[in-house]
Chain A
Amino acid sequence: MTESAAPSSSEYIHHHLTNLVSGKGFWSFDIDTLVTSAVLGLIVFGFMASVARKATSGVPGRTQAAVEILLEMVQTQVRDTFHGESGMVGPLALTIFVWVFSLNAMDLLPVDLVSLLMGSVGVEHWKAVPTTDPNLTFAMSLTVFFLILYYNFKVKKCGGFMREVFTVPFGAKMAPFNFLFRLIEDLAKPVSLALRLFGNMYAGEMVFILIALLPPYLQWLLGAPWAIFHILIITLQAFIFMILTIIYLSMAHESH
């Protein structure tokens, strides 16, 4: 990796961790993240919708059974954890799980394959795993955050929510502290959701890149175990994001 023609290790890593950005400053877009996530979403959810459209209450085929298993898993989690009444939580949880899982699964593609393919058509940078872009994880967690606020207002009404914010847990006399605690608590939710997913996937991707720096005949030795282990990580991260969302929304429905 130290020959003059080939990029140095740090250049290689830097290259692989750079998004394809269009625009300047804040008003710029990570094209790779947007396109990859949208295309994957289209494929996966289009596929599920086509299965759902043909769903029969009779004997299900294998594909339908697979979608049903997935949906029932999510439904069970929602039923066990969520005690409010909302038709939205189930589909939301399913969307999160399936989308995050499929985006994470991009991590299992060989790190050089995507940038090689995109490079061959003249695209300089292409980060294949959208969940290693904090923009995506924060977009999801902030959406969840606004849903938490929405349900807080909807279920407890403005007065009830304000009373909860200012009187729990120390009582009305300590209103500013209560408010401060609540603020930290609620802001921590989207930040932790987004950073957990981003951190895990970013670190995982980083390890794959480091493994790719090894001599080719040694890469499988670390690459294969890490990839197999990563199957667990990507599923687990998708599951954690989903289950925490359900828990947060459940808390928004319940009074302290």
Chain B
Amino acid sequence: MNINATLFGQAITFAILIWFTMKFVWPPVVAALDDRSKKIAEGLEAAERGRQDYAKAELRSQDALNEARARAAEIIALSEKQAQAIVQQAHDAAVIEANRVKAQAQAEVEQEVMRARDSLRDRVADLAVSGAEKILRREIDAQAHADLLTAIQAEL
């Protein structure tokens, strides 16, 4: 074990190697490592974000589906109600129309009856007058008793 000037030579070599490592070995590798860990962190974050987005979208689509279902049910109920209303309306209209037609027919019948009764009355009056005429022809002057005959006719 003898110490000599090799000490200085080795110290210089050592210093050069430290400098070399500081300059050419350490920084690029550390930079690459840091960069990679950043990339990995970003990737993980993106994946997490994607997962959350997917969950949110699923929730949204579920909402939309529920809403559509509700709307469809609503529309069906509404249309059913409308159909019922239309049927009811048509029924009501038909009933009214039927009543109207019936009333009209009744009125016509009554009118007809009235007319028949009038003409019958006229005929009866005529018959009565002609009968009376025939009876009275010999005794009564038609013209002299016209007023009386008209009064009788009116009374009938």
Contact = CB atoms under 8 A, between A and B. Distances in A.
B13 A45 contact: no
A23 B29 contact: no
Nearest to B12: A139
B25 interface: yes
B6 A52 contact: no
Interface string A42-68: 000100110111011110100010011
Contacts, number: 133
A91 B3 contact: no
A56 B98 CA distance: 96
Interface string B20-60: 11101111111111011011000000000000000000000
Given A30-B4, A75-B30, A91 B25 contact: yes
Interface in A1-35: 21, 23, 25-30, 33-34
B5 interface: yes
Contacts of A130: 10
Contact of A143 (B15, B25, B39): B15
Interface stretch (A92-100, A109-117, A151-159, A216-224): A92-100
Contacts of B1: 134, 198
Nearest to B6: A135
Interface of B is mostly: helix
Contacts of B13: 34, 37-38, 41, 139
Interface in A128-172: 130, 133-136, 138-140, 142-143
A143 B14 contact: yes
A98 B26 CA distance: 12
A95 B18 contact: yes
B10 A140 contact: yes
A229 to B, nearest CB: 24
A32 to B, nearest CB: 10
B39 A139 contact: no
B21 A45 contact: yes
A88 interface: yes
A26 B4 contact: yes
B4 A28 contact: yes
A55 B22 contact: no
27 contacts: A25-B4, A27-B4, A28-B4, A28-B6, A45-B20, A45-B24, A45-B25, A51-B29, A52-B25, A57-B39, A58-B39, A64-B32, A68-B29, A68-B32, A71-B30, A71-B33, A91-B18, A91-B22, A92-B18, A95-B14, A99-B14, A136-B6, A139-B13, A140-B10, A140-B11, A142-B11, A198-B1
